[in-house]
Every structure is written in structure tokens, then in C-alpha cells.
Structure 1
Amino acid sequence: MNNDLATEITAIVTDKNEEDAFVQKNGVTYKVLSEDDVSIGDTLKGFVYIDKQDQAVFSTVIPEINKETFGWGTVVKVNRTLGVFVDVDWQDKDVVVSIDDLPAEGRLWPKEGDRLYLSIKVDNKDRIWGNLADEEKFFEDYVEGTKQMQNQDVTGTVFHLKKSGTYVITEEKHILFVHPSEQDKEPRLGQEVSGRVIGLREDGVLYTSMQPRAHEVIDDDAMMLLEMLKRSEDHHIPFHNKTDPELIKKQFNISKGQFKRAVGRLMKQGLVTQDETGTKLIETPLED
């Protein structure tokens, strides 16, 4: 087993030809990947790994992601029998996050373009794998949210999936928690998602909803009625479910069926009430 793989080492250039230079360390020869000219006898610091051609290489560019440190990588390929391939910014090398470390349900696997926070692990056959950060890693240096963030729009990357809900981290290192009731469908690992803050947990985690705001689920007909109610002097219009269809058509240029559906949507959102005198705005909707 090569314990140097995926680590930074210091080695001496022992050989060179017209195209490549080589270093040796602990009995292993590595091809040097360097933008600078090197000579036999030079002592170099570099990062060693096995590239896509199964060649041992020594890069003088030290990557962020290695055995000791975590970083964000981008999914570039999905293999259902193996796992997902992640670009970790190594020359001529992607690493695989094993199927064993991914969600049991395939629909929750990352897709191409999604991001994963990972380090590196090497097995006893010298195979290099991506090592996903666990939940505790994200909580090591996260930034607690505040009450002032209530109703703010937030965007982040899904890093942990649980039956109780989904954990997301933002670029600002705020951690979001999305309960299943606040999502249309469960996001996949590594997916970028957006929502709005609806509460604050005692530990500073931001309760977040991925459901649209009330005004975002109101269609054009309902929005027209809502605007008319807001602009009327007493926030009331003398139209209801028993109003003559011709009067509704003349006033709103929509059918009675469209009118009833629009009012129903507004009532479902808690924005209006209706009786035999007409339809009334409950309160001026918040512009959130």
C-alpha cells in the first residue's frame, strides 16, 4: 500500500528525458507535472496521485482537496454501478464517490453539475476515492442565522438528507433546514436550491421553505381580482358565486367558472372572504 498517495511529499528529481522528469519516493517513481523547468537533482514539493492512465504522477500544484483537507468538487459523470465522478481540480484525474456513500434512492443522487464537499481516502489497493464530509463537518465553522433574516431569500447546496428534512449550506456558511412539508419534492444531494427563511432554530440554523410565496402561486385571474380589491375604496367588490355570469363577464372579461376558481385560490391563501354581499379583502397582502 502506498501511504503517500493523495498527500504532499518532498522528493528529488532522479531522471529526465526530452518530454518528462521523474522523482522517486519510498521506492515509487512519479512523473513530474510542472509548468517550470526542472533538472536532475532538484528537490521539489508536490502532490502525488494516480491519474486516469494509471500512472503515478507528482504535481507541483498542491490542490485544495486531499487526504487532509475538504473542498467543493463538481460532479462530472454518474455511473449507477459505481458512483459519481467528481472534478476535484487535479490534472487528468476525477475521483469517485462510491455508491456505498450515496443515498439509497437513485433519484437523490447528485447529477452532473451538482457540487459535493469532500476530501480523499485511499483504500488498501491504492484506489483513490472521494470522502464526503459528514454533518458534523459543516457545523464546525458555520455562521448562525439571525431573526433579522426572517423572510429573506436564500440559496445553497444540499449537503445532508434525513427523513426529518434536508440540510443546506449557503456561500455565507449559514445552514438551512427544510422540513418535508416545506418542499414539493425532496432535493437531491449536491443540488443547489433556493427558498426563504421562515424561522430560526435555537442553534442558529435557519428554518427554510422551498414553497412559493402566496403571490407566486396566484394565477393571472386571481391576481387581477386581488388588485381590484386592493384598489377599491372599502376593499370590497359586489360579486360572489351567485352573481349573474353575464355581469361577471362584463366586469372582468372572464367566465363565471374562472371567477370562482380565482376567488377559491385567494380564499385558500387566506387573502379574501366571500358572502352574499360580495368578495372582501381580509387584509392587505404583505409584499413578501
Structure 2
Amino acid sequence: MKELGRINSLLINRFTANGAYLALHDGGEVLLPKSYLPEDIETGTEIDVFVYTDSEDRPVAVTTPPVALLDEFAVMEAKEITRFGAFMDWGLMKDLFVPKSEMRGDMVVGEKYLIRVSIDFKTNRLIGVNKYDDFLEEDTRGFEEGQEVEALIFAQSDLGYKALIEQAFEGLIYRNEVFESIELGQKVRAFVKKKRDDGKLDLSLTPSGREKYEEGAEKILALLKVKKFLPLHDKSSPESIKELLGMSKKHFKQSIGQLYSAKLINIRQDGIELL
């Protein structure tokens, strides 16, 4: 069934007490339960649905898609662990099963993991795969240093935060360069800092060079337009700067230097104020 795991536009064939039966491309039908039926919908109407199998392995359609479709990655929370595998919360009534053979290691209920939605061709069911390394690419020639990317934070290591880029590449944001709160499953704007020989990318949350400080200056200026005064200055501790602005002390000093040169702020002994 080629509709499995994907968003499909299907026609309504008929209605029953349980819902509506939609026409599949192979001539079969799939049930759209009554709870998902929009009001005032008629036979012959086309509707966008996600198709998967229920707890009894029957195909079923829903109008609310999961966090990841077939062949896509998402960060999912483990809801139940058994000796056969793990059940992950992917936003549907039926949890996504990750077989023991597809786990990178032991999982813990309540923890989040990077999962790829795949098909078990032996059973024709959708399953989750935690061994993400098998699907990642190492040819990073399509990236340039300084390039902006969207990064999905999926794990922490001693060095920092692991991130998935374009559903195919692994990146790392170093812990000592992070000055804001980051959570697993969060998508962040990042910039390619370095292309490594192992096929991975070093990332930064701020652009390099002058653009970085211009962005920091804009952030400080926007805050000053609201508060008029910030109790931060050259002698402020890195911790207080990070807490209030989410940036390093070096970044802060460069940014206020730009604002001062542009005659937008006044630097006092006890802080900075908007002119």
C-alpha cells in the first residue's frame, strides 16, 4: 500500500456508522474514523489524510499527522519499554514501535531520542529506527562555511549538542558556545562553522565575523527600546550577561561598541542607556 506513512489526498467513497471509507489507489479502501470527519463533508470529496495501521494492523486514516512521516526523522519521547523494543510518542493514538534490533542502546521511559520512521518489509508495518547513523550522509560539499541552516537538536554529548540538518547530516554545537536554553527536539537557526573530515558539521548559533556583532547589537537595541536602561557594562560578569542577553561577554562588548560608535547608546559606569 503506497499510501502508508504518507499524507495522501483521497476521495470519500461512502459513509458508515464508524466514519467514512476513502478510496485507495490500488482499488481498496481505508477507514477515516468518525472522530476525524469534518462537518458537512460529502461523498466524492477529496480529503488530506495520513495513513498508518491501528493496534490490530488494519489500515486507518487520520487528519492529524504525526511528528514525522515515512523516511523522516523526529525527536520522540519513549513511553514504554519492553523486552521486544520501545514504544515512542509520535503524536498519534497508536505509539510508534522501535524493535530491539533497531535501538542504538538501552532506552529510558521519559527520555527523548532521534527516531526515523521506516517500513518493516516483513510485516508491512511502520516502525521506528533509532540507529540513525545508517541513514546519514557524509558528503558535505554542498555546504559552505557561514551558511545558515535549520538544525534539529536531538542529543547531548560531553562536547555539546548534536543536531540534524536537512534530515541527512549531523552537526555539533559546542557547549561552551551556547548562551541560551536549548531543549531536545527544538529546531534552531544555526550557521556552518566548519566542515569536518568525518562528514559532520561544526555549527554555531550566531553568524561569524561582523554580521555576528551586528545581530547582537540589534538584540541589545531592541531590548533598550523597551527598558531604556540595562544594568550591564564592561565590568559585568559573563554570567549576568548570559542570563539577561543570552550572549557571551565578548559578544556583548563588541555589540555595545558598535552601538556606542553609532551614537545610539550611552555607556555609564552602572550600565547602558538608550539615546
The TM-score normalised by the length of structure 2 is 0.49
The structure with the largest alpha-carbon Rg is 1
The TM-score normalised by the length of structure 1 is 0.47
